[in-house]
């Protein structure tokens, strides 16, 4: 019986590796044809490995080759289990062409086809797995009785086979589900760690990451890079007068305006509070000033509608710096844009100022 436990260990180990290597392209009924083909081939390979480590009674091989096919049916729909089934049939005949091989291949064909139909049943997920395994175990028991007709072997083998089959199916199902949930949570947290939850823009961490990346690219390619610092004028007054919820509404609307009136490749971020930045790739100072002035004008004439239905007006001040036009030192690009913003604030607000430190 240790061979069945070896099968269980192989299933557990290889499924874990599979979930790690395919975390970016998990198998589902909506997966691409390529993903389904690869999953079916890998499932067929796993089933053939399990046959090599099964229990051998003369021409008969007892193993858990059906488990990968059941899991493929559950997660991938018809195509992956059919591919795996074909590989199992070929693999079994390569071991030996005899009555046992023919019977085992008929068994795996029945299991594969029926598991596809069971998958379509409108029952809970775990119930589908139980029904699939139960059905395959019943069919296996019938075929084993037909091939051996030895009650001593049947009574010794079948109870253990049924238990390990259920165990392997549950572990496989649980492992894939747990890995998927963990991977989805990781992706979610990874995205949330770089996205401002209020506006949906990049946050300051993502801004720093992108700025460092673009700085390295600019040094190599000698392309232009402009930076825009944007600050809402008298935003504290909005919060004090209308409340922070209304202030949040204003920030969301401003984020929408910034995305709408920038180019597709421009990087828009909220760096904190009412301060926003825009990284303009391959953009000279003249074009950057045009974009900045357009944003300033759009904001000035935009009707900001609060949650209570009231409409208010506001303005923004913008500071601009540009690599090789206002500064030749990339490390000063942020400070220069911030200084230009300060100049815009100090000189009357609602204007675009360019750093003149070059």
Q: What pLDDT tens digit does each residue of the chain (358 aa) get? A: 678 888 889 998 988 888 888 887 888 888 899 999 999 999 999 999 999 988 887 788 889 999 999 999 999 999 999 999 999 999 999 998 999 999 999 999 999 999 999 988 888 888 888 999 999 999 999 998 888 887 887 888 899 999 999 999 899 888 888 888 887 888 888 777 889 989 999 999 999 999 999 998 888 887 899 999 999 999 999 999 999 999 999 999 999 999 999 999 999 999 989 999 999 999 999 999 999 999 999 999 999 999 988 999 999 999 999 998 888 888 889 999 999 999 999 999 999 999 875 4
How many domains does the chain fold into?
2
Adjacent-strand bridge partners of 195? 202
Same domain? For 27 and 170 the reply is: yes
Contact 84, 92 (CB under 8 A): no
Distance of alpha carbon 47 from alpha carbon 50, whole angstroms: 5
Instruction: Identify whether 199 is part of a domain.
Output: no
Buried b / exposed e across 210-241, counting CB within 10 Å, b at 16+? bbeebbeebeeeeebbbbbbbbbbebeebbee
Instruction: Identify whether 198 is part of a domain.
Output: no
**Residue 321 belongs to domain with CATH number:** 3.30.70.270
Which one, of 255, 344, 241, 337, lies nearest residue 299 by Cα? 255
Same domain? For 180 and 108 the reply is: yes
Instruction: Identify whether 167 is part of a domain.
Output: yes
Domain limits for position 79: 2-192
Domain end among 142, 167, 192: 192
The helix (run of H) or strand (run of E) holding residue 307 is none
Same domain? For 213 and 186 the reply is: no
Distance of alpha carbon 292 from alpha carbon 298, whole angstroms: 10
Predicted pLDDT at 357: 53
Instruction: Identify whether 20 is part of a domain.
Output: yes
For 12, other C-beta atoms within 10 Å of its C-beta total 14
Distance of alpha carbon 338 from alpha carbon 333, whole angstroms: 9
Structure tokens at 290: 């045009």
Predicted pLDDT at 358: 45
- Length of the chain as a residue count: 358
**Residue 182 belongs to domain with CATH number:** 1.10.1760.20
Structure tokens at 250: 């204003």
Adjacent-strand bridge partners of 317? 231
- In this prediction the pTM is 0.66
């Amino acid at each position: 019986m240790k061979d069945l436990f070896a099968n269980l260990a192989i299933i557990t180990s290889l499924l874990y590796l599979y979930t790690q290597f395919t975390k970016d392209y998990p198998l589902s009924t909506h997966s691409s044809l390529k993903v389904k083909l690869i999953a079916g081939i890998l499932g067929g390979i796993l089933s053939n490995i399990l046959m090599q480590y099964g229990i051998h009674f003369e021409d008969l091989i007892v193993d858990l080759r059906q488990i990968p096919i059941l899991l493929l049916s559950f997660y991938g729909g018809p195509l992956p289990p059919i591919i795996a089934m074909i590989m199992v049939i070929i693999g079994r005949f390569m071991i030996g062409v005899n009555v046992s091989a023919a019977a085992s291949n008929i068994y795996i064909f029945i299991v594969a086809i029926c598991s596809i139909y069971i998958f379509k049943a409108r029952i809970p997920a775990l119930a589908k797995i139980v029904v699939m395994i139960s059905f395959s175990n019943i069919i296996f028991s019938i075929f084993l009785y037909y091939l051996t007709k030895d009650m001593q072997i049947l009574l010794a083998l079948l109870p253990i086979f049924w238990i390990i089959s259920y165990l392997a199916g549950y572990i496989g199902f649980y492992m894939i589900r747990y890995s998927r949930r963990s991977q989805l949570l990781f992706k979610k947290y990874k995205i949330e760690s770089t996205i401002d939850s209020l506006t949906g823009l990049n946050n300051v961490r993502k801004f720093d990451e992108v700025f460092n990346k673009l700085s390295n690219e600019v040094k190599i390619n000698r392309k232009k890079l402009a930076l825009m610092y944007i600050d809402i004028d008298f935003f504290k007054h909005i919060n004090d007068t209308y409340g922070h919820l209304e202030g949040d509404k204003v920030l969301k609307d401003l984020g929408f305006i910034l995305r709408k009136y920038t180019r597709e490749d421009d990087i828009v971020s909220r760096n904190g509070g009412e301060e926003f930045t825009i990284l303009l790739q391959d953009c000279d100072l003249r074009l950057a000033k045009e974009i900045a002035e357009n944003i300033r004008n759009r904001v000035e004439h935009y009707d900001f509608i609060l949650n209570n239905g009231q409409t208010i007006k506001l303005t923004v001040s913008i500071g601009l710096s540009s690599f090789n036009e206002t500064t030749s030192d990339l490390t000063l690009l942020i400070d220069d844009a911030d200084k230009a913003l300060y100049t815009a604030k100090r000189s009357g607000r609602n204007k675009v100022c360019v750093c003149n430190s070059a």
